[in-house]
Amino acid sequence: MSRQRLNDLVLAAAARGILQPDATAQPMTRPWPIVLMTGLGAWLAVIPFVAVLFLTLGDQLEKGALGYVVGAVILGMALMVLRSGSRSEFIEQLGFPALLVAGVLLAIGLYRDLPPGSASAVLTLVIIGAAWAAPQIWLRTLLGALAAAAFVAMAAGYRTFEHAQLPNGLHCALLVWLVAVSWSDSHPVSGLNARGAIALDAIASGWAAMLLLGLAYSSGKTFMIGALLEPLPGDSLGLTRDPLSRTFSIVLAGSGAAWLAHRWPACRAPHILLAVALLLVLSWVMPLLGGALLILAICTTSARPLLAVAAAVSAAWIIGGFYYQLNMPLASKALIMAAVGAAFGLIGWLNWPRRASAPAQTPARPPRLMALSLLAILVVINGGIWQKENLIRHGRPVFIELAPVDPRSLMQGDYMRLNFRLPHLGDADRRTKVVAKIDSRGVAVIQQAASGAPLAPDEILIELVNTGSGLRPVSDAWYFKEGEGKRWQQARYGEFRIDGNGRTLLVNLRGANLEAL
């Protein structure tokens, strides 16, 4: 919301008696640690009440109509307390968990007695009604996000988010958000609609935030951090093969570009149009990108900076998810990304402002700092290379049994994720040393965590690293050229080089009899 519209909204609210006559827009004065501790106290106060409620009335709440009654009573009491005008921060924070408890009780009954789509529709209306009745802006925003989640479940036809219909529900939610924002921004603020404008803007903000989160979630894991995540639903969606979804994505992205050109004439420049064409290409190969770009365009031009940043992050996540899509050959994906990146770089270089004349004196300090930084980078990189080469030459060969799986990698061809056979070591730190027994073939069998006790002649130390998916000997992946998957499917052991401190380096994979592949 722009500053001018915010001021108009404050004046209109004051005229209607919603705010004091001398009210002005002011930043929040409550320190965030106090808000955090107050919220924590409210949650701690609600948890025992909920536990007693479910322990005493558990079966009746789940199977009978009592759940509706208790849920409605808690909902009404929570809204009454929130609307009482209390200045207590604790009372405000207490309202949100109370509303959640009421929503859970109502949801249990609705999903039990109605089809999933109908139950989600009723739940959406209940949440929106509660958001409209609650006067707190932050609470309206959170409830708007929950309403968006319930609406997506309704539009997708499921009660969970693990199915391929999720993008359809997200796009339906996007259309609803567009209607709400268009109505809100096209109507001037007055005393008659001030209360509704305040509520609608807060609910729409939460709705958009949940929508952007859903778009990123549906696209699957993204580049560089995919190894830290479990597979997401977007990894298996057939959306990328649907021409209708691709066309709709282009329409959404094109609508966002048209809106930018309408609001900001500078966006009609030829180089901007070329950038738009590149984004349309990306929207074709990434069907979820168009929605994020449209939200980004609208929020940028309507002074909604937080949502604009969230939309940019969501769009970046979706583009990074292209890294893991399996509907296209790796070489084709690499060509598309390289071509688009080079085109963006060329557009930026051609439109970079040129100086009319060189400055009289060029400071020498920045070039020296750049040279020193480059030298430091080269030293670090080459130092790491030297350490690994030294470990390969002088390290002890050791084999560890593994169980491979094979997702893909755009930057380095194909790769196999290596799932080593390790004992359960409990809660371990980022780096943990273990004791392994070596047999006559050089196969290491990890026994236990290292305790500092002397090692037997046939025992060695191995350092394990927590990669996010569990403890692994340095790496959980083996990279190879595209098209050699059948060769490496026979791998049963990883070949490592280990130094005296337990540091390991994966150098090869071996077959069931330790034969070279």
Output the DSSP codes for 87-122.
--HHHHHHHHHHHHHHHHHHHHHHHHHS-HHHHHHH
- The pLDDT value recorded for residue 161 is 45
Is 260 contained in some domain?
yes
pLDDT tens digits, one per residue of 408-418:
544 445 666 77
Domain boundary among 245, 263, 286: 245
pLDDT at 473: 76
- Regarding whether 473 and 402 lie in a shared domain, the answer is yes
489 inside domain: yes
Q: What is the pLDDT of residue 4?
A: 58
Co-location of 440 and 497 in the same domain: yes
**Residues 446 and 335 grouped into a single domain:** no
- 323 with 465, same domain: the answer is no
Q: CA-based diameter of the chain, in Å?
A: 88
Does some domain include residue 515? Answer: no
Q: For residue 363, is it within any domain?
A: no
Given this model, what pLDDT does residue 162 score?
46
513 has pLDDT over 90:
no
Q: 194-218 and 289-301 helices cross at what angle (nearest 10)?
A: 150
Question: Does residue 438 surpass a pLDDT of 60?
Answer: yes
Region 210-234: mean pLDDT is 70
- Of 349, 371, 393, the last residue of a domain is 349
- Pair 390, 251 in one domain: no
Same domain, 399 and 288: no
**How does residue 294 score in pLDDT terms, banded at 50, 70 and 90?**
very high
Select the more confidently predicted residue: 288 or 233: 288
Does 378 reside within a domain? no
CA 435 and chain centroid, separation: 38
**Residue 427 located in a structural domain:** yes
Statement: residue 16 has pLDDT above 60: no
Do residue 487 and residue 469 come from a single domain? yes
Q: Is the pLDDT of residue 15 over 70?
A: no
Whether residue 238 sits in one domain with residue 251: no
The mean pLDDT value of the chain amounts to 78
Tracing tokens 């070489």 back to the chain, one arrives at 331
Instruction: Indicate whether 298 and 415 sit together in one domain.
Output: no
- From 194, 223, 245, the end of a domain falls on 245
Whether 327 is in a domain gets the answer yes
Question: What pLDDT, in 10s, does the model give residues 446-484?
Answer: 887 777 788 888 888 888 876 656 677 776 677 776 667
pTM (2 d.p.): 0.65
Please state, in angstroms and as integers, the Cα–Cα distance from residue 265 to each residue in 43, 258, 261, 301, 454, following that order: 49, 10, 5, 12, 75
Predicted confidence at residue 460, as pLDDT, reads: 84
Tell me what the mean pLDDT of segment 243-262 comes to. 89
Residues 445 and 473 in one domain: yes
Q: Is residue 357 part of a domain?
A: no
| 211 and 277 fall within a common domain | no
Alpha-carbon gap, residue 349 to 39, rounded angstroms: 50
Encode pLDDT of 113-152 as tens digits: 888 888 889 999 999 999 998 888 888 999 999 999 999 9
Q: What is the pLDDT of residues 389-407, one digit of tens each?
A: 888 888 888 888 876 554 5
Q: How many domains does the chain have?
A: 3
181 near 246, Cβ under 8 Å? no
Same domain, 183 and 44: yes
Q: 270 is in which domain, residue-wise?
A: 246-349
